[in-house]
């Protein structure tokens, strides 16, 4: 009897709330997915159809999204901007983190602190002056504007993450190589970098996710419909006047989330461990 | 080892002066830091300064402005919409942060139990946090639809708790609470996973000792879990406050500041005045007005918690 009681107690205090959390956290995605495949007749008729299910699924919304809008182009732009900005940021961050953590120069702690503080400067303060600069440089309405500005929040984050990662690589390995006559560059390329690969992967995923998610710069610096990134385009291009095509809007949101979700699901362990590691630093 | 040494030195002879230059530490430090610091100086430090300067000018799009002193700030202080946006931002930050941390801590405590499929659960729970904010916000926009809201449907037609559909985004207060709810939804996973990491570093022997001393579940939470969690809580709280305070995406995606400017946060108002409105100077002034709040919130959440942790540590010894 006592064990039955404690099992019941465990259900009520642990499993039930947990199920509720999972339900609430995932429901918007379920709703997004189900709306994507609903025909209009079901979308606006809760009396005759159960809104929680699709009776006759259709690909009309997806078809409209892929063929009647610039969606593939937006996906491509977003992907390109994210990949290039991530690559630039990773190169800069690895070098900076290596210098700060491994070369131990005078004032390296201050440079590290400055980079940490740079992460705390939010884009919503910077976008107006950046917009005037972008305009002066003649980069307005060009993906270059995004590729150059995204590293401002990617570099601080990646550097911070990689400093923590370099810290965990034993210093002795580098000393051994140095005794063997290796130059510092050789050490960086052949010893430190290969060991830092897991750190690089997690920094890369974070950077890619953050660029994919970025919104305010892309909204402020890009004007032409076909050059927009997915988050901006879905919000500004798919809404025609007062008519909301919820089916294709939800399809746009769903397909825009999938690349990030896929990348995340492949590397989820790196992601979680470096996320928590970075906070614990 | 001898073989390895041969390989190392072979390359060295080929490009001797270059290699020696790269082995000279100040040069190496400079070259490693140059790309990162260069980019940050040009696209972060300089615009930060430029933004403060713009706040004191009457710059518009297409026309560089002149210095007008505090005029932007004076006119903002008379501006009802601006004052409301400040109030909204504070309300939004305070309520959403409390919600996120209360629910996030609860979820972290639940996940800290011995559970089946633990890794999978953690992975699933982070999904709202990794999907692009605007895209999940669009889902909320649809969930909050005045006529076809699924929440209204459940409350009215399934449960019969209410008689009419709720106009979530049509009236100022409904819209504000709806935005806060969406923000909490998005913030829970991050808080929960970070606090879970903190919880897992607490040694079980502390709980055993507390149990032997006869501490109740609440006392164990209050005197073991909370003090041990404080350092990580301080960091996560600082981050959370900072990003909630300067949030732009959720509000822009769901209400765009409406109905009738009543849900503007400072960031969305700065955007509206600065970019489509063309008043760069005024927009910059609104953005700059966020800085004192940010510095205060950061210092407060950081030092208040760091101090408490220190006090707790003292009393526990």
B179-189 pLDDT, tens digit each: 999 999 999 99
Distance (Å) of CA B141 to CA A255, B36, B82, B123, B178: 17, 38, 25, 25, 10
Asked if the Cβ–Cβ distance from B136 to A103 is below 8 Å, we say no
Task: Give the closest-approach CA distance of A20 to chain B in angstroms.
Answer: 10
For residue B229, the chain A residues in CB contact (below 8 A) are none
Which pLDDT score is estimated for A80? 96
Cβ-nearest to B4 among A125, A180, A271 = A180
Asked if the Cβ–Cβ distance from A96 to B37 is below 8 Å, we say yes
Q: Which residues face A239 on adjacent strands?
A: A244
Asked if the Cβ–Cβ distance from A17 to B131 is below 8 Å, we say no
Sequence-distant (6+) residues with CB within 8 A of B17 are: none
Distance (Å) of CA A64 to CA A71, A116, A245: 10, 44, 10
pLDDT of B84 higher than 70 = yes
Helices and strands, number each (H, E), in chain A: 17, 2
**Nearest of B289, B263, B301 to residue B92 by alpha carbon:** B263
Asked if the Cβ–Cβ distance from A246 to B48 is below 8 Å, we say no
Which pLDDT score is estimated for B1? 46
Q: How confident is the model at residue A252 (pLDDT cuts 50, 70, 90)?
A: very high
Task: Give the closest-approach CA distance of A201 to chain B in angstroms.
Answer: 16
Task: Give the closest-approach CA distance of A68 to chain B in angstroms.
Answer: 20
Q: Are A212 and A82 in contact (CB under 8 A)?
A: yes
Distance (Å) of CA B156 to CA A46, A111, B142, B162, B172: 12, 58, 17, 5, 22
Cβ-nearest to B128 among A25, A121, A254 = A25
Task: Give the closest-approach CA distance of A132 to chain B in angstroms.
Answer: 8
Specify which of A17-21, B1-5, B295-299 reaches the highest per-range mean pLDDT: A17-21
Which pLDDT score is estimated for A279? 63
pLDDT of A173 higher than 50 = yes
For residue B109, the chain A residues in CB contact (below 8 A) are none
Q: List, as one string, the DSSP characters of A115-126.
A: HHHHHTS-HHHH
Query: How many angstroms separate the CA atoms of A82 and B127, rounded?
Result: 19
Which pLDDT score is estimated for B7? 56
Asked if the Cβ–Cβ distance from B128 to A220 is below 8 Å, we say no
B235: nearest CA partner in chain A: A279
Query: How many angstroms separate the CA atoms of B2 and A14, rounded?
Result: 61
pLDDT of A19 higher than 60 = yes
pLDDT mean across residues, chain A: 88
Task: Give the closest-approach CA distance of B5 to chain A in angstroms.
Answer: 5
Which pLDDT score is estimated for A47? 78
- The whole-number average pLDDT for the span B123-131 is 89
Which pLDDT score is estimated for B314? 42
Which pLDDT score is estimated for B13? 53
For residue A43, the chain B residues in CB contact (below 8 A) are 148
pLDDT of B160 higher than 90 = no
Q: Is B246 helix (H, G, I), strand (E, B) or coil?
A: coil
Asked if the Cβ–Cβ distance from A28 to B185 is below 8 Å, we say yes
- The whole-number average pLDDT for the span B200-206 is 88
Q: How confident is the model at residue B315 (pLDDT cuts 50, 70, 90)?
A: very low
Paired tokens of B281: 């100077």
Q: Which residues face B67 on adjacent strands?
A: B57
Percent of chain B with pLDDT over 90: 46
Which pLDDT score is estimated for B176? 95
- The whole-number average pLDDT for the span B108-112 is 93
B65: nearest CA partner in chain A: A132
pLDDT mean across residues, chain B: 86
pLDDT of B47 higher than 90 = yes
Mean pLDDT lowest for which of A22-31, A180-189, A204-213?
A: A180-189
Task: Give the closest-approach CA distance of B130 to chain A in angstroms.
Answer: 7
Sequence-distant (6+) residues with CB within 8 A of B155 are: B161, B162, B166
Mean pLDDT lowest for which of A171-185, B38-52, B253-267?
A: A171-185
Mutate to test the interface with B, among A104, A127, A129, A157 (most CBs of B within 10 A): A129
Which pLDDT score is estimated for B9? 55
Q: Which residues face B63 on adjacent strands?
A: B60
Asked if the Cβ–Cβ distance from B136 to A18 is below 8 Å, we say no
For residue A95, the chain B residues in CB contact (below 8 A) are 31-33, 35-36
pLDDT digits (tens, 9 = 90+) for A30-66: 999 999 998 888 888 787 888 888 888 888 888 888 8
Handedness of CA A196, A202, A206, A208 (dihedral sign): positive
Mean pLDDT lowest for which of A136-150, A210-224, B56-70?
A: B56-70
Cβ-Cβ contacts under 8 Å between A and B: the total is: 290
Which pLDDT score is estimated for A244? 77
Percent of chain A with pLDDT over 90: 43
pLDDT of B2 higher than 60 = no
Which pLDDT score is estimated for A222? 93
Asked if the Cβ–Cβ distance from B43 to A234 is below 8 Å, we say no
Give the global pTM: 0.88
Handedness of CA A218, A220, A221, A225 (dihedral sign): positive
Cβ-nearest to B44 among A111, A126, A209 = A126
Which pLDDT score is estimated for A13? 87
Percent of chain A with pLDDT over 70: 96
- The whole-number average pLDDT for the span B198-218 is 89
For residue A105, the chain B residues in CB contact (below 8 A) are 25-26, 29
Asked if the Cβ–Cβ distance from B196 to A128 is below 8 Å, we say no
More confident site: B235 or A242? B235
pLDDT of B309 higher than 60 = no
């Amino acid at each position: 009897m006592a064990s039955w009681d404690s099992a019941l107690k465990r259900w009520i205090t642990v499993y039930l709330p947990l199920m509720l959390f999972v339900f609430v956290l995932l429901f918007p995605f379920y709703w997004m997915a189900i709306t994507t495949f609903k025909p209009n007749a079901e979308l606006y008729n809760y009396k005759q159809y159960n809104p929680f299910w699709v009776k006759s699924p259709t690909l009309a919304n997806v078809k409209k999204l892929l063929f009647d809008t610039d969606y593939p182009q937006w996906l491509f732009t977003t992907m390109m901007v994210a990949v290039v900005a991530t690559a630039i940021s990773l190169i800069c961050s690895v070098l900076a983190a290596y210098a700060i953590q491994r070369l131990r120069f005078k004032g390296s702690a201050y440079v590290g602190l400055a980079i940490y503080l740079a992460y705390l400067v939010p884009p919503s303060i910077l976008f107006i002056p950046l917009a005037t600069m972008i305009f002066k440089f003649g980069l307005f309405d060009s993906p270059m504007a995004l590729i150059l500005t995204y590293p401002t929040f990617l570099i601080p984050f990646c550097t911070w993450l990689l400093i923590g990662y370099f810290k965990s690589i034993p210093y002795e390995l580098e000393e051994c190589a140095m005794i063997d006559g290796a130059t510092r560059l050789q050490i960086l390329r052949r010893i430190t970098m290969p060991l830092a690969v897991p750190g690089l992967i997690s920094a890369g995923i974070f950077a890619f996710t953050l660029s994919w998610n970025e919104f305010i710069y892309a909204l402020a610096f890009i004007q032409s419909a076909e050059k927009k990134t997915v988050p901006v385009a879905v919000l500004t291009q798919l809404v025609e006047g007062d008519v909301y095509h919820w089916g294709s809007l939800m399809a746009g949101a769903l397909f825009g989330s999938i690349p990030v979700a896929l990348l995340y699901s492949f590397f989820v362990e790196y992601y979680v461990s470096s996320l928590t590691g970075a906070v614990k630093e | 080892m001898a073989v390895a040494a041969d390989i190392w030195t072979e390359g060295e002879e080929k490009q001797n002066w270059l290699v020696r230059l790269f082995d000279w530490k100040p040069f190496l430090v400079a070259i490693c830091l140059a790309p990162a610091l260069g980019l940050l100086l040009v696209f972060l430090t300089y615009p930060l300064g430029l933004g403060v300067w713009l706040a004191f000018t009457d710059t518009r799009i297409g026309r560089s402005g002149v210095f007008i002193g505090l005029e932007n700030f004076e006119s903002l202080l008379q501006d009802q919409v601006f004052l409301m946006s400040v109030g909204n931002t504070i309300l939004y930050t305070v309520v959403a942060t409390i919600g996120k941390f209360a629910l996030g801590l609860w979820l972290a405590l639940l996940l800290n139990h011995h559970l089946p499929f633990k890794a999978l659960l953690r992975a699933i729970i982070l999904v709202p946090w990794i999907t692009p904010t605007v895209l999940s916000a669009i889902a909320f926009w649809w969930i909050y639809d005045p006529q076809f809201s699924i929440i209204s449907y459940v409350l009215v037609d399934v449960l019969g708790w209410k008689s009419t559909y709720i106009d979530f985004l049509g009236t100022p207060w409904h819209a504000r609470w709806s935005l806060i709810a969406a923000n909490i939804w998005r913030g829970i996973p991050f808080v929960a996973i970070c606090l879970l990491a903190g919880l897992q570093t607490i040694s079980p022997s502390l709980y055993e000792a507390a149990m032997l001393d006869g501490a109740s579940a609440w006392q164990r939470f209050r005197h073991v879990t909370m003090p041990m969690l404080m350092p990580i809580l301080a960091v996560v709280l600082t981050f959370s406050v900072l990003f909630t305070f300067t949030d732009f995406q959720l509000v822009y995606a769901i209400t765009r500041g409406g109905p009738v400017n009543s849900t503007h946060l400072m960031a969305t108002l700065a955007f509206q005045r600065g970019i489509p409105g063309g008043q760069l100077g005024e927009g910059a002034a609104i953005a700059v007005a966020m800085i004192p709040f940010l510095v205060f919130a950061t210092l407060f959440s950081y030092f208040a918690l760091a101090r408490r942790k220190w006090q707790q540590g003292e009393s526990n010894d």
